[in-house]
């Protein structure tokens, strides 16, 4: 592979040379009616400025820099500046608490932190216990312990830094979202990052004519790695700050958006407003919107069938991945395979997959087993956790922890997370199967199925149902609807409440088990 592709910072430099005056990024803040844009040359130069100021502060190859910011153009400038120094970028979840920050810093031992002013209070709570010696703050209110990002970057030179970075050098330390316990630190390399660019572009055929509407949090591998497929060919992207059906359609319409990656709830919200007439498709310029794809969670087939009624010509893809596989792409449905909606798909470009039993042996087609994957996106390790690394990485294969089955045509279908399988009366019940079933009810907006302890059966199936606004649903109607399920799969408890999801769209099942796993009072109808 040519040196120009050795790390993603060099891809940015190439875009700056080849398309200097073309718009690279647009930032839209609908709530404030603000819009900013930056060219590829400006993007490249600003990243160089940040890299230079970091090196002036003593940041060297292999150091760790915590990066705690909200989505913005500045987020990406800081990210690429850190990467160019050879340091490890450590992007953090904007929902983390001060305690979460301390935990991540105890693991990463950063020398410096760049952050948005919104996080000043959380940092101050634990700052005396952190290893960082320098703090750089973006915003108008700079705390006494930090320096101004804007002032520092304006004074720094835009000349490229001279740091030798190899393909297998570490690039980023990504912490999992923490919804299944303490966040795990995932060490990704420059090779991992470049592989994400190539895989994503191979799946969705981005060209310089495309415009990617970027909505999910950038700290997570999902959104950023999808954008990488556009980044590698120098096409424009729009960072949309804030989520609503109106804001999404406005961005697509006004910016000539061609690709949008959505979470299931966002797609549902768009459809609900189209159904109600609050949104009218003809009021927007949408003909150029060629691809909608979804990942990060199981996708109800009914949702995509509903979507296709409004957008019959639009391409659709489902993407599966993990932070441990450098985000999405190790498995994907493929835009040519909408007849298999409901499956996560087939091995991604340059990826291999297997479905195995507890002993690592391939299971017959149709039988449930654990999905394992192998490819250039597989992480180096769980940093400073050799035990967890040994469990996840075996002979080059990444054990995902997801239970799946493969059909006769070779398509993979999610069954559930290993840890979420409900064992009731000795029978295995997979929550995703229950959730898919209830998504077929016209009054169900969202649904979570969990297992809770039971003295006689070990566990019982409990469903938390979020009803579509304006519609009604009773416990008796839920019970009647579930009669076509095998008896052991039917819910024993029914709760009407909001289904909590994290910023990447995953249902926060540990939170639900904590909320509803106590007294019988917790199970009363709400």
pLDDT for 58-112, tens place per residue? 999 999 999 999 999 999 999 999 999 999 999 998 888 898 899 999 999 999 9
Residue 450 contacts residue 512 (beta carbons within 8 Å): yes
**Residue 28 domain flag:** no
pLDDT for 298-355, tens place per residue? 677 888 999 999 999 999 999 899 899 998 899 999 999 989 988 999 999 999 999 9
Considering 377-386, 411-420, 510-519, the range whose residues carry the highest mean pLDDT is: 377-386
pLDDT the model gives residue 170: 96
8-18 vs 40-56: helix crossing angle, rounded to 10: 140
More confident residue, 161 or 179: 161
Note whether 202 and 140 are same-domain residues: no
HSE, CB side, 13 Å, CA atoms: give it for residue 78: 27
Note whether 390 and 515 are same-domain residues: no
pLDDT the model gives residue 11: 95
Domain holding 490: CATH number?
A: 3.30.300.30
pLDDT the model gives residue 521: 35
**Residue 26 domain flag:** no
How many independent structural domains does the chain possess? 3
Whole-number Å distance between alpha carbons of 73 and 300: 33
Note whether 170 and 317 are same-domain residues: no
Whole-number Å distance between alpha carbons of 103 and 283: 48
Tell me how crowded residue 294 is: count the other CB atoms within 10 A of its CB. Answer: 23
Enter the pTM of the model: 0.83
pLDDT for 426-480, tens place per residue? 667 778 778 888 988 999 999 998 888 876 677 889 999 999 998 999 999 999 9
Residue 370, both tokens: 């654990």
Whole-number Å distance between alpha carbons of 218 and 172: 13
**Residue 372 domain flag:** yes
pLDDT the model gives residue 523: 33
Give the residue from 142, 141, 136 showing the smallest Cα distance to 155.
136
Domain end marker among 197, 215, 241: 197
Mean local confidence (pLDDT), 413-425: 76
Instruction: Please list, in sequence order, all residues whose beta carbon lies within 8 angstroms of the beta carbon of residue 485, skipping any fewer than 6 positions away.
Output: 434, 437
Residue 272 contacts residue 304 (beta carbons within 8 Å): no
Q: Can you give the residue range of the structural domain that contains 49? A: 3-21+37-197
Note whether 258 and 360 are same-domain residues: yes
**Residue 429 domain flag:** yes
**Residue 27 domain flag:** no
Note whether 141 and 277 are same-domain residues: no
pLDDT the model gives residue 511: 83
Note whether 180 and 228 are same-domain residues: no
Domain end marker among 417, 445, 478: 417
More confident residue, 518 or 122: 122
Burial 59-89 (b: 16+ CB within 10 A, else e): beeebbbbbbbbbbbbbbbbbbbbbbbbbbb
**Residue 238 domain flag:** yes
Note whether 85 and 193 are same-domain residues: yes
Domain end marker among 197, 227, 260: 197
pLDDT the model gives residue 297: 67
**Mean pLDDT over all residues of the chain?**
90
pLDDT the model gives residue 181: 55
**Residue 205 domain flag:** yes
Strands 23-29 and 34-39: antiparallel
pLDDT the model gives residue 524: 34
Note whether 398 and 449 are same-domain residues: no
Note whether 272 and 394 are same-domain residues: yes
Note whether 502 and 406 are same-domain residues: no
Whole-number Å distance between alpha carbons of 183 and 381: 14
Domain holding 391: CATH number?
A: 3.40.50.12780
Note whether 192 and 203 are same-domain residues: no
The 3-state secondary structure of 285-296, one letter per residue: CCCCCCEEEEEC
Note whether 140 and 12 are same-domain residues: yes
Whole-number Å distance between alpha carbons of 274 and 520: 39
Of 2-6, 25-29, 296-300, the one with minimum mean pLDDT is: 2-6
Instruction: Please list, in sequence order, all residues whose beta carbon lies within 8 angstroms of the beta carbon of residue 460, skipping any fewer than 6 positions away.
Output: 422, 424, 451, 452, 454, 492, 493
């Amino acid at each position: 592979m040519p040196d120009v592709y050795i790390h993603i910072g060099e891809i940015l430099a190439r875009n700056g040379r080849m398309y200097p005056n073309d718009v690279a990024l647009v930032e839209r803040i609908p709530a404030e009616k603000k819009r900013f844009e930056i060219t590829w040359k400006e993007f490249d130069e600003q990243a160089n400025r940040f890299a230079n100021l970091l090196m002036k502060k003593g940041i060297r190859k292999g150091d760790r820099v915590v990066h705690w910011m909200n989505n913005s153009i500045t987020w990406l400038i800081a990210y690429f500046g850190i990467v160019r120094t050879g340091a490890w970028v450590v992007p953090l979840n904007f929902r983390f608490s001060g305690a979460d920050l301390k935990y991540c810093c105890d693991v990463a031992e950063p020398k410096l932190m760049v952050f948005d002013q919104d996080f000043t209070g959380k940092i101050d709570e634990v700052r005396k216990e952190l290893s960082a010696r320098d703090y750089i703050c973006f915003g108008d209110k700079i705390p006494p312990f930090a320096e101004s990002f804007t002032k520092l970057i304006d004074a720094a030179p835009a000349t490229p830094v001279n740091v030798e970075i190899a393909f297998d050098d570490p690039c980023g330390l990504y912490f999992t979202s923490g919804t299944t316990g303490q966040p795990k630190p995932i060490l990704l390399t420059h090779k991992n990052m470049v592989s994400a660019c190539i895989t994503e572009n191979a799946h969705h055929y981005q060209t310089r004519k495309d415009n990617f509407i970027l909505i999910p949090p950038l700290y997570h591998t999902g959104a950023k790695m999808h954008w990488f497929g556009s980044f590698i060919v120098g096409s424009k992207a729009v960072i949309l700050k804030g989520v609503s059906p109106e804001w999404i359609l406005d961005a697509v319409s006004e910016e000539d958006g061609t690709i949008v990656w959505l979470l299931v709830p966002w797609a549902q919200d768009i459809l609900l407003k189209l159904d109600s007439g609050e949104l009218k498709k003809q009021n927007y310029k949408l003909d150029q919107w060629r691809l909608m794809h979804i990942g990060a969670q199981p996708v109800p087939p009914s949702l995509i069938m509903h979507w296709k009624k409004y957008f019959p010509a639009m391409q659709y893809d489902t993407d599966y991945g993990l932070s441990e596989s450098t985000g999405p792409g190790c498995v994907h449905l493929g835009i040519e395979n909408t007849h298999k909606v409901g499956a996560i798909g087939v091995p991604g470009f340059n990826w291999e997959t297997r479905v195995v039993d507890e002993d690592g042996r391939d299971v017959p087609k149709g039988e449930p087993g654990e999905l394992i994957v192998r490819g250039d996106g597989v992480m180096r390790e769980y940093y400073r956790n050799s035990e967890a690394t040994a469990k996840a990485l075996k002979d080059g294969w990444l054990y995902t922890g997801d239970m799946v089955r493969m059909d006769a045509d070779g398509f993979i279908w999610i069954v559930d997370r290993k840890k979420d399988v409900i064992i009731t009366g000795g029978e295995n019940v997979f929550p995703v199967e229950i959730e898919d079933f209830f998504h077929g009810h016209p009054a169900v907006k969202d649904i979570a199925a969990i297992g809770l302890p039971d003295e006689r059966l070990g566990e019982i199936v409990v469903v938390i149902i979020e009803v579509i606004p304006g519609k009604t649903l009773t416990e008796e109607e839920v019970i009647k609807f579930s009669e076509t399920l095998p008896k052991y799969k039917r819910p024993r408890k029914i709760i009407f409440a909001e289904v909590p999801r994290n910023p990447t769209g995953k249902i926060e099942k540990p939170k639900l088990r904590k909320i509803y796993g106590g007294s019988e009072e917790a199970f009363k109808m709400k």
